Amino acid sequence: MPTITLSVPEDLKQEMDEEREINWSEVARAAIKTKISQLKILKTISAKSKLTEKDALELGRKINKSLHERYAK
Protein backbone atom coordinates (compact mmCIF):
# COMPACT_ATOMS: atom_id res chain seq x y z
CA MET A 1 0.00 0.00 0.00
CA PRO A 2 1.44 3.44 -0.90
CA THR A 3 2.25 5.86 1.91
CA ILE A 4 1.44 9.58 2.09
CA THR A 5 2.66 12.12 4.60
CA LEU A 6 0.45 14.82 6.14
CA SER A 7 1.51 18.04 7.78
CA VAL A 8 -0.58 19.16 10.74
CA PRO A 9 -0.10 22.01 13.21
CA GLU A 10 1.80 21.08 16.37
CA ASP A 11 -1.23 21.65 18.61
CA LEU A 12 -3.34 19.29 16.50
CA LYS A 13 -0.60 16.64 16.63
CA GLN A 14 -0.50 16.93 20.42
CA GLU A 15 -4.27 16.40 20.60
CA MET A 16 -4.00 13.42 18.26
CA ASP A 17 -1.27 11.92 20.44
CA GLU A 18 -3.59 12.13 23.45
CA GLU A 19 -6.09 9.87 21.67
CA ARG A 20 -3.95 6.75 21.43
CA GLU A 21 -6.90 4.43 20.74
CA ILE A 22 -7.73 6.24 17.48
CA ASN A 23 -6.21 4.87 14.28
CA TRP A 24 -5.49 8.21 12.60
CA SER A 25 -4.42 6.55 9.37
CA GLU A 26 -7.85 4.97 9.11
CA VAL A 27 -9.52 8.30 9.90
CA ALA A 28 -7.51 9.96 7.11
CA ARG A 29 -8.28 7.11 4.66
CA ALA A 30 -12.00 7.40 5.39
CA ALA A 31 -11.95 11.19 4.97
CA ILE A 32 -10.09 10.92 1.67
CA LYS A 33 -12.45 8.21 0.43
CA THR A 34 -15.47 10.36 1.35
CA LYS A 35 -14.03 13.39 -0.45
CA ILE A 36 -13.28 11.31 -3.57
CA SER A 37 -16.87 10.02 -3.58
CA GLN A 38 -18.20 13.58 -3.28
CA LEU A 39 -15.97 14.73 -6.15
CA LYS A 40 -17.20 11.87 -8.37
CA ILE A 41 -20.80 12.87 -7.69
CA LEU A 42 -20.00 16.51 -8.39
CA LYS A 43 -18.29 15.60 -11.68
CA THR A 44 -21.29 13.49 -12.71
CA ILE A 45 -23.69 16.33 -11.97
CA SER A 46 -21.55 18.98 -13.62
CA ALA A 47 -21.02 16.85 -16.73
CA LYS A 48 -24.79 16.94 -17.33
CA SER A 49 -25.10 20.65 -16.55
CA LYS A 50 -25.75 23.21 -19.24
CA LEU A 51 -24.48 26.06 -17.07
CA THR A 52 -21.43 27.89 -18.32
CA GLU A 53 -18.61 28.71 -15.93
CA LYS A 54 -19.78 32.33 -16.01
CA ASP A 55 -23.35 31.26 -15.11
CA ALA A 56 -22.06 29.11 -12.24
CA LEU A 57 -19.94 31.95 -10.84
CA GLU A 58 -22.89 34.37 -11.01
CA LEU A 59 -25.15 31.84 -9.28
CA GLY A 60 -22.49 31.35 -6.57
CA ARG A 61 -22.27 35.09 -6.00
CA LYS A 62 -26.06 35.35 -5.66
CA ILE A 63 -26.13 32.48 -3.18
CA ASN A 64 -23.29 34.00 -1.13
CA LYS A 65 -25.02 37.37 -1.08
CA SER A 66 -28.32 35.79 -0.01
CA LEU A 67 -26.62 33.82 2.78
CA HIS A 68 -24.74 36.89 3.95
CA GLU A 69 -27.98 38.89 4.11
CA ARG A 70 -29.77 36.08 5.97
CA TYR A 71 -27.11 35.66 8.64
CA ALA A 72 -26.25 39.35 8.97
CA LYS A 73 -29.70 40.00 10.45
pLDDT value, residue 18: 97
Domain count, the chain: 1
pLDDT tier at 7 (50, 70, 90 boundaries)? very high
In a domain, 4, yes or no: no
pLDDT at 16 over 90: yes
Q: Is residue 2 part of a domain?
A: no
Q: 73 by DSSP, 3-state: which?
A: coil
Rounded CA-CA distance 28/12 in Å is 14
Q: How many C-beta atoms surround the C-beta of residue 13 within 10 A?
A: 13
Domain that holds residue 46: 10-72
Residue 73 in this model has a pLDDT that exceeds 80: no
**The residue type at 28:** A
Q: What is the DSSP string of 5-27?
A: -----HHHHHHHHH-TTS-HHHH
pLDDT per position as a tens digit, 20-39: 999 999 999 999 999 999 99
